[in-house]
Amino acid sequence: MRVITGTARGRKLREPEGNGIRPTSDMVKEAIFNIIQFDIEGRRVLDLFAGTGQLGIEALSRGAAVCDFVDKDKAAYQLVRANLASTELTGGQVFQSDAASFLGRAERYDLVFVDPPYDFPNPDRILEKIVQFDILNQHGIIVCETKAETDLPTVPEPYQKGREYRYGKVKITLYTRA
């Protein structure tokens, strides 16, 4: 697992021990960043269910202004901190918190990564919380990574469900705020 491009290009990231954290594959990560490549620089980013922190770290490496990393798991929290330190990127802040609880006190963001564990019972619940607390700035993007067979809901205006992309067993769903 490595940073694909930007100021930390090529830096290796620490990987989780065991099966508690499922990192996004390099192929899927590269596809995500090809889709959103022009929507990163100078933006405020939220990496929910951060795991290793690789999505938020990639965004920081590509010029995001700040990134908040959120994971309730202590091992993930420590892993994100270690990966941020090893890349020497600035602008990252790590929170050990349940995603839904964090959203209740979150600031506004331009880009939100939602990458819950595949056995997470209701990924649509997190989308509902994002809409309820209205944490996305105008023209902001939500990138959701789920199992390919997971159906995510449409959301009320001003949010809208966009394209879905499939990569083997993984599906990326985009949402925007008009």
**What is d(CA 175, CA 159) in angstroms, rounded to the nearest whole number?**
7
Q: What is the pLDDT of residues 158-169, one digit of tens each?
A: 999 999 999 999
Tell me what pLDDT residue 87 has. 97
Strands 159-167 and 136-147: unpaired
Class of domain 26-177: alpha beta
Question: CB–CB of 48/99 below 8 Å?
Answer: yes
Query: How many Å apart are CA 106 and CA 76, to the nearest integer?
Result: 20
- Return the pLDDT at 138: 96
100/72 Cα distance (integer angstroms): 10
pLDDT tens for 19-65 read: 556 667 888 999 999 999 999 999 999 999 999 999 999 999 999 99
Tell me the β-bridge partners of 93. Answer: 68
Task: Please give the biggest Cα pair distance in the chain.
Answer: 41
Mean pLDDT to the nearest integer, 128-145: 95
Domain locations along the chain: 26-177
| 6 has pLDDT over 90 | yes
* 77 vs 170: CA distance, rounded Å: 24
Q: Cα separation of 43 and 111, whole Å?
A: 7
Total Cβ atoms within 10 A of residue 163: 8
Per residue in 87-126, pLDDT (tens digit) is 999 999 999 999 999 999 999 999 999 999 877 888 889 9
pLDDT of residue 21: 63
- From CA 36, how far away is CA 34, in angstroms rounded? 6
Q: Which pTM was predicted? A: 0.94
